[in-house]
Structure 1
Amino acid sequence: MDLTAVPSEEAPPVAGRRITRRRRAVLAAAVGAALVSVGAVAGSSFVQSPAQAAADTRPPKASVITAAVASQVLRSTVVLRGTFSDGKKVSITPTSVAATDDNPGGAGAVLTRVMVRTGDEVTAGVPLVEYSGRPVFALEGVLPTYRDLTPGESGADVAQLQNALKKLGHDVGTDEPGRFGPGTKRALKALYTAMGYPTPVTGATTAAAVKSARQEVDRARAALREGQQPATAATGGASAPAAPPAGGADPSTGARPGGGGSDLTGLRQGLARAEDALEQAERVDGPMLPASECLFLPSFPARVSALPLEVGDSVKGPVLSVAQGEMLLTGSLDPAQASLVKPGMPVQVLSESQGRQADGTIASVGTLVAPGDTKQAKDGQPTGQPAPAANGGAAYVPLAISPQSPWDRLWAGQDVRITITSATTTGPVLVVPVAAVFAGADTRTNVTTVSQDGTQRPVNVTVGPSADGLVQVTPLADGELAAGDRVVIGQ
Structure 2
Amino acid sequence: MPMKVGDQVRSGRVVAEVSGRPVIVLPGRFPAYRELKSNDEGPDVRQLQQALRPRYGTPITGKFDPRTASDLRRLYKSIGYPAPTVEPSGEQKSDRAAPQGEARGAGEVTVAPKDTLRVPAGELFFVSELPATVGLVQAGVGGDGGGPLLTLTSGGWQLLVRLDDSTQQLLESMPQGGRFRLDGEEGVALRLVEIRADGDGGSATAAPGAQEPSPQPSTERAGDGPPNAEHKAVFAVTGTPKDAVVGQTRDIIVERGRSSTKAVVVPASAVWTAADGTVAVEAMADDGSTRKIEVEVLLSVRGRVAVRPTQGELPAGTKVVVAERDGEPVR
What TM-score bracket applies, with the shorter chain setting the length? 0.5 to 0.7
% of aligned pairs identical? 26
- Tell me the equivalent position of 2:2: 115
Match of 1:137 in 2: 24
- Which SS does the other structure have where 1:321 is aligned? strand
Structure 2 partner of 1:125: 12
Deviation at 1:177, TM superposition (A): 1.6
CA deviation digits over 1:12-62, x for unaligned, max 9? xxxxxxxxxxxxxxxxxxxxxxxxxxxxxxxxxxxxxxxxxxxxxxxxxxx
Q: Shift of residue 158 of structure 1?
A: 0.9
2:129 paired with 1:291: no
Of 289, 295, 305, 1:462 maps to: 295
Which structure features the higher share of helix residues? 1
Change in Cα spacing, 1:322 to 1:204, as seen in structure 2 (3 Å) is farther
- Give the match for residue 309 of structure 1: 139
1:483 matched to 2:317? The reply is yes
The CA distance in 1 between the partners of 2:223 and 2:25, in whole Å, is: 36
The 1:129–1:474 alpha-carbon spacing in structure 2 relative to 1, beyond 3 Å, is: same
Deviation at 1:319, TM superposition (A): 1.6
1:118 partner amino acid: V
Q: Report the 3-state secondary structure (helix = DSSP H, G, I; strand = E; otherwise coil) of the residue aligned with 1:416.
A: coil
What amino acid sits opposite 2:322 in the alignment? V
- Give the C-alpha shift of residue 143 in structure 1: 2.2
Aligned to 1:160: 47
Cα RMSD (Å) of the superposition?
4.2
Contact 2:88-2:116 within 8 A present in 1 as well = no
Give 2:218's aligned residue.
368
Give me the whole-angstrom Cα distance separating, in 1, the residues matched to 2:324 and 2:19: 77
Aligned in 2, Cα 1:433/1:473: closer, same or farther, shift over 3 Å?
A: farther
Preserved CA contact (<8 Å) 1:433 1:489:
no
Match of 2:246 in 1: 412
- Aligned match of 2:174 in 337, 341, 346? 337
Secondary structure of the 1:161 match is helix
* AA aligned opposite 1:437: V
Asked if 1:320 is matched to 2:170, the reply is no
Contact 1:444 1:460 (C-alpha < 8 Å) held by counterparts: no
Higher strand share: 2
Match of 1:393 in 2: 231
**Structure-2 residue corresponding to 1:273:** none
Structure 1 residue 141, shift from structure 2 partner:
1.8
- Report deviation, 1:476: 4.8
Taking structure 1 as the reference length, the TM-score comes to: 0.46
Aligned residues: 273
Q: SS where residue 173 of structure 2 aligns?
A: helix
Alpha-carbon offset, residue 200 of structure 1: 2.2
Q: Which residue of 2 aligns with 1:436?
A: 270
Given the superposition, is the C-alpha separation of residues 302 and 490 from structure 1 closer, same or farther in structure 2, using an over 3 Å criterion? farther
Q: Which one of 75, 88, 102 corresponds to residue 191 of structure 1?
A: 75
Structure 2: which 5+ residue stretches go unaligned? Answer: 93-112, 162-167, 194-215, 326-331
CA positional deviation for 1:161: 0.8
- The 1-side partners of 2:314 and 2:12 are apart by 75
**Could you say which structure has the larger radius of gyration?**
1
Deviation, structure 1 residue 437: 1.4
Cα 1:321/1:328, change in 2 over 3 Å: same
Long gaps (5+) in structure 1: 1-113, 209-281, 351-355, 375-385
Query: Does the C-alpha gap of structure 1 residues 190 and 445 become closer, same or farther in structure 2, counting only changes over 3 Å?
Result: closer
Q: Give the Cα separation in 2 of the matches to 1:462 and 1:194.
A: 72
TM-aligned CA distance change 1:482 to 1:194, over 3 Å: closer
Shift of 1:441: 5.7
Letter in 2 for 1:328: Q
